[in-house]
Structure 1
Amino acid sequence: MGFFNMLLSLAAKGAVILFFLLLLAFLGYCLYIKRIHMKYDHIPGPPRHSFFLGHSPTFLQVMKEGKIIHDKFREWSEEYGPVYRTNVLHFVFICVTCPEATKEILMSPKYPKDKFLYKRLFNLFGQRFLGNGLVTAVDHDLWYKQRRIMDPAFSSLYLRGLMGTFNERAEKLMNKLSDIADSGTEAKMLHLVNCVTLDVIAKIAFGVDLDLLTNKSPFPEAIETCLKGMVFYIRDTLFEFNPKNRPFINEVKEACRLLRTTGARWIQDRKTAMQNGEDVPKDILTQIIKAASKEENMSKEDDEFMLDNFVTFFIAGQETTANQLGFCIMELARHPEILEKAKKEVDDVIGMKQEITYDDLGQLIYLSQVLKEVLRIYPTAPGTSRDVVEDMVIDGIHVPGGCTAFFSSYVTGRMEKFFKDPLTFDPERFHPDAPKPYYCYFPFALGPRSCLGQNFAQMEAKVVMAKLIQRFDFTLLPGETFEVLDTGTLRPKSGVLCSVRHRKYSK
């Protein structure tokens, strides 16, 4: 009995010691947060909602109301100036709209991608997601090795050879729209272009025919689930600790597993075929495997990186282009005068021919302006961020090192100081003779870490839009809104529901 009492006494003392240790750790963390506040609070910024959570509750309220977080950033930029501070726990984010600082930070390799955000994208709720792929790799040497492997698959010579696939997949969409026009049913344009862009990336990158306009697939839903999970994982620091969210978290993890196991199977099948000397498609996957085989010191981790990039291409190569196309159709439908000008150019350049060539794309100058203007108002990947390691001065304000600089092309694209009447859709802003925006327009980011696939994406978008304009008249259905849905990427909230009719040509 005495021994048992002694154990209880020791346990009680241990609990007391543990309590005081936790209390000391808590007080130490409080002092650390206070020190961070004192270090950065000379920088203008909105009042914190919470000592610990900083501005995170504000972000969550915006999400709860179904609004766009970047509109809040724009509001704060107008109120607090070209550099202002936000806080989440002990992290400090400096939101920047100053063009000179944007140029300095984004164009230089000495500012790495920020560890807070991109480490969160390594996995979602413990399940590996984008890993250390091209988008998320923070270490410059690791990123550069992968970029060197990927570059040949996105050279201008290689991209020219993709025109056949762009045309073929866009034709499938035209056939689908023809059926819709004949039947008089509504066209869910965002869904349709999502199918096409996912078909394109699956075929061009991985040699797989999904044919989503006629076949069902788990991939679109898996991608959407991953993106939703990504938003909560990044913006709500307590989301994963709420038991009510467990079923959704499990769905996100399962969606991640589906994408990665599919990718692993496709990659291994291709490697086996190449080792056996079989004929394989000359697609991006083959290019990547060939380039990787020439690298020295390739390891199992490099194979994992290849899988990371599979998921990256599968999502980034489809989602953002589909959303751009959706916004483009929406804006052309609400601006008939701009649509007529685009029609005239397409008629002059393409005429009635079915196969669009690479040289044709270069002559579709006004359509390029339209697509650029779409990305000004609706940058589908709206922001990027970098770590500021050393002290610097931005617009006369001293910014101590150790924080993260955040840049939003959505914010700068909608500010009067950079674009006159910024909410007016006007493709003439991007006329070849118009002055070029000075580091306030960067829908594909800037500098060495800019999007590798931007030329690929814009070629694809131009082929789809040119064929659509060539063949069909489209109008938005009554009640369609022009609201934007924030799922990490930006997309038309209403789905762009249209009535579609065959174009009538005068004889």
Structure 2
Amino acid sequence: MAVFYGLLSLGAKALIILSVLLFVAFLCYCLYIKHIHMKYDHIPGPPRDSFLLGHSPTFLRTMKNGLVHDKFLEWSETYGSVYRVNALHYVSVCVYCPEATKEILMSPKYPKDRNVYKRLFNLFGQRFFGNGLVTAQDHELWYKQRRIMDPAFSSLYLRGLIGTFNERAEKLMDKLTEVADDNTEANMLHLVNCVTLDVIAKIAFGMDLDLLTNSSPFPKAIETCLKGMMYYVRDYLFQFNPKNRAFIKEVRDACRLLRATGAEWIRKRKTAMQNGDDVPKDILTQIIKTAAAEESVTEEDEELMLDNFITFFIAGQETTANQLGFCIMELGRHPEILAKVKKEIDDVVGMKRDISYDDLGKLIYLSQVLKETLRIYPTAPGTSREIVEDIVIDGIHIPRGLSCIFSSYVCGRMEKFFKDPLTFDPDRFHPDAPKPYYCYYPFALGPRSCLGQNFAQMEAKVVMAKLLQRFDFTLVPGQTFDILDTGTLRPKSGVVCSVRHRNYKN
């Protein structure tokens, strides 16, 4: 009995010591946060929700009931072009100053923000973007990948893709013909999502999915991964809530499905290359060349190939589909703009079935419409960089070590950059209009700008030109025009339309 009480006493002492150590650690953490506040509170910003959590509660409330980017816009109107946000011991500075945007985004010396992009390495423990082209922190690793990928996005190679763009867009036209003949409604976002995923699968990876006629788990897996990414990056406590376990499992399963698919497609292409078969100079071939450039292919090199497969498979279709959805939505709301762009397409393309590369260059007003769509609805709304040295922005001293957040969404909706910013006006991008000065960057800027932006805009032009050449459409009443944030921005209602064959007699 004495031994038992002695053991109990030892256990109690250990518990007391552990409690004291935890209290001391918590106290030290609180002192560190206080130090962080004292160091950065000279930067203006909204009042924190709490000493420890900073502005995190505001972000979480906004994510449930609205769009977090609108909160950033609201704060920019109150606190100016440079303001601070806190989350635990992390501090970020939101910057909407064109001069600073130019200096930081155009320079390779400011790396991507490690706090954000390291969290995209995996999702809830399952490798996701890894060290692919978008997320690579090390400049040399990124540069090697970019250099190898460049040939797949050269203007000469893109010119040769116009036939595939036409072919895949024709499948959408066939589907819309069925819709028009049956007098049914069409969820346009879903349909263009199928087309853009078909395009990237065929052009980048040589695979035929034909999602407009075949069912596939890929669209749902991509959507699940992006939604999981949003929570994983913005809510550090999300994974510790037992209520979220089922969703977290869905996200992990979706990641595994996409990576397993990538592994299979890469294996087939490698076999073809080893057998001396003719293979296209597409993204998949370039991904394999990334690893082949090494003296010996390690397990990490194999994972890097899958990282870039995921990067291009998702980024190569999601943002373009959302841009098309928003574009159709705005044209449906502005019949005068719709009529003008239709006239241009009739003048340039006429009744031709296939749109040529040269035709795309003549569709100037359509380009303006697509650019204006991305001004109000940048589907990838922002980026961030790490401040590696002290800098002064708009008269405010910014110490090194901070994350710097740039939002094309906020800049595109600021009155000081765009008059009547919520008015959809393609003439802002008329060739003779003044060009926006570092306040419009839907594809980011500088060396880390989107490699596939020309690819995406070619694809968007072909799809829109064919759609407007063949069909009239009206938005079904009663749907919302709200934005859904799933990591990328998309039309919340899906852009449901009534579709009719164009009547050329009128």
Q: TM-score, normalised by structure 2?
A: 0.98
Contact 2:366 2:461 in 1 (8 A): yes
Residue 104 of structure 1 pairs with residue 103 of structure 2: yes
The one-letter amino acid paired with 2:420 is: D
Residue 362 of structure 1 pairs with residue 361 of structure 2: yes
3-state SS of 1:405 partner: strand
Q: Which residue of 2 aligns with 1:23?
A: 23
Contact 1:149 1:292 in 2 (8 A): no
Deviation for aligned residue 1:277 = 2.0
Measure, in 1, the Cα distance between the counterparts of 2:355 and 2:230: 38
The one-letter amino acid paired with 2:411 is: T
Contact 1:153 1:288 in 2 (8 A): no
Contact 1:229 1:252 in 2 (8 A): yes
The CA deviation string for residues 127-170 of structure 1, in whole angstroms up to 9 with x for no partner, is 11111111111121111111112111111111111111100000
Q: Which residue of 2 aligns with 1:330?
A: 329
Q: Which residue of 2 aligns with 1:426?
A: 425
Measure, in 2, the Cα distance between the counterparts of 1:283 and 1:98: 38
Deviation for aligned residue 1:35 = 0.3
Measure, in 1, the Cα distance between the counterparts of 2:130 and 2:395: 37
Contact 2:126 2:255 in 1 (8 A): yes
The CA deviation string for residues 361-382 of structure 1, in whole angstroms up to 9 with x for no partner, is 1111110000000000000000
Contact 2:291 2:305 in 1 (8 A): no
Q: Which residue of 2 aligns with 1:136?
A: 135
Contact 2:204 2:282 in 1 (8 A): yes
Q: TM-score, normalised by structure 1?
A: 0.98
Measure, in 1, the Cα distance between the counterparts of 2:244 and 2:325: 31
Measure, in 1, the Cα distance between the counterparts of 2:297 and 2:99: 39
Query: How big is the alpha-carbon RMSD for the aligned residues of Structure 1 and Structure 2?
Result: 1.3
Q: Which residue of 2 aligns with 1:316?
A: 315
Measure, in 1, the Cα distance between the counterparts of 2:457 and 2:242: 42
Contact 2:145 2:290 in 1 (8 A): no
The one-letter amino acid paired with 1:140 is: H
Contact 1:381 1:444 in 2 (8 A): yes
Contact 1:169 1:199 in 2 (8 A): yes
3-state SS of 1:57 partner: helix
Deviation for aligned residue 1:278 = 2.8
Q: Which residue of 1 aligns with 2:494?
A: 495
Contact 2:287 2:309 in 1 (8 A): no
The one-letter amino acid paired with 1:21 is: L
3-state SS of 1:265 partner: helix
Measure, in 2, the Cα distance between the counterparts of 1:281 and 1:406: 38
Q: Which residue of 1 aligns with 2:465?
A: 466
Q: Which residue of 2 aligns with 1:407?
A: 406
Q: Which residue of 1 aligns with 2:36?
A: 36
Residue 57 of structure 1 pairs with residue 57 of structure 2: yes
Unaligned runs of 5+ in 2: none
Q: Which residue of 1 aligns with 2:158?
A: 159
Q: Which residue of 2 aligns with 1:208?
A: 207
Deviation for aligned residue 1:282 = 4.1
3-state SS of 2:73 partner: helix
Deviation for aligned residue 1:286 = 1.8
Unaligned runs of 5+ in 1: none
Q: Which residue of 1 aligns with 2:284?
A: 285
Q: Which residue of 1 aligns with 2:252?
A: 253
Deviation for aligned residue 1:15 = 2.0
Q: Which residue of 2 aligns with 1:84?
A: 83
Deviation for aligned residue 1:302 = 2.0
3-state SS of 2:316 partner: helix
The CA deviation string for residues 374-424 of structure 1, in whole angstroms up to 9 with x for no partner, is 000000000100011221110000111111000000000000000001000
Q: Which residue of 2 aligns with 1:265?
A: 264
Contact 2:291 2:302 in 1 (8 A): no
Identity of aligned residues (%): 80
3-state SS of 2:405 partner: strand
Q: Which residue of 1 aligns with 2:372?
A: 373
Measure, in 1, the Cα distance between the counterparts of 2:83 and 2:290: 43
Measure, in 1, the Cα distance between the counterparts of 2:48 and 2:404: 18
3-state SS of 2:179 partner: helix
Q: Which residue of 2 aligns with 1:118?
A: 117
Measure, in 2, the Cα distance between the counterparts of 1:484 and 1:241: 28
Q: Which residue of 1 aligns with 2:11?
A: 11
Q: Which residue of 1 aligns with 2:179?
A: 180
Contact 1:43 1:84 in 2 (8 A): yes
Deviation for aligned residue 1:228 = 1.0
The CA deviation string for residues 457-495 of structure 1, in whole angstroms up to 9 with x for no partner, is 000000000000100011101112211111111000110
Measure, in 2, the Cα distance between the counterparts of 1:291 and 1:356: 33
Measure, in 1, the Cα distance between the counterparts of 2:185 and 2:171: 17
Measure, in 1, the Cα distance between the counterparts of 2:474 and 2:369: 17
Contact 2:291 2:297 in 1 (8 A): yes
Measure, in 2, the Cα distance between the counterparts of 1:92 and 1:308: 29
3-state SS of 1:120 partner: coil
Q: Which residue of 1 aligns with 2:303?
A: 304
Measure, in 1, the Cα distance between the counterparts of 2:434 and 2:309: 38
Q: Which residue of 2 aligns with 1:506?
A: 505
Q: Which residue of 2 aligns with 1:193?
A: 192
The CA deviation string for residues 305-350 of structure 1, in whole angstroms up to 9 with x for no partner, is 1100111111111110000000000111111111111111111111
Q: Which residue of 2 aligns with 1:351?
A: 350
Measure, in 1, the Cα distance between the counterparts of 2:280 and 2:84: 50
The one-letter amino acid paired with 2:428 is: R
Contact 2:152 2:281 in 1 (8 A): no
The CA deviation string for residues 47-89 of structure 1, in whole angstroms up to 9 with x for no partner, is 1011111111001111111x11111101100100010000001
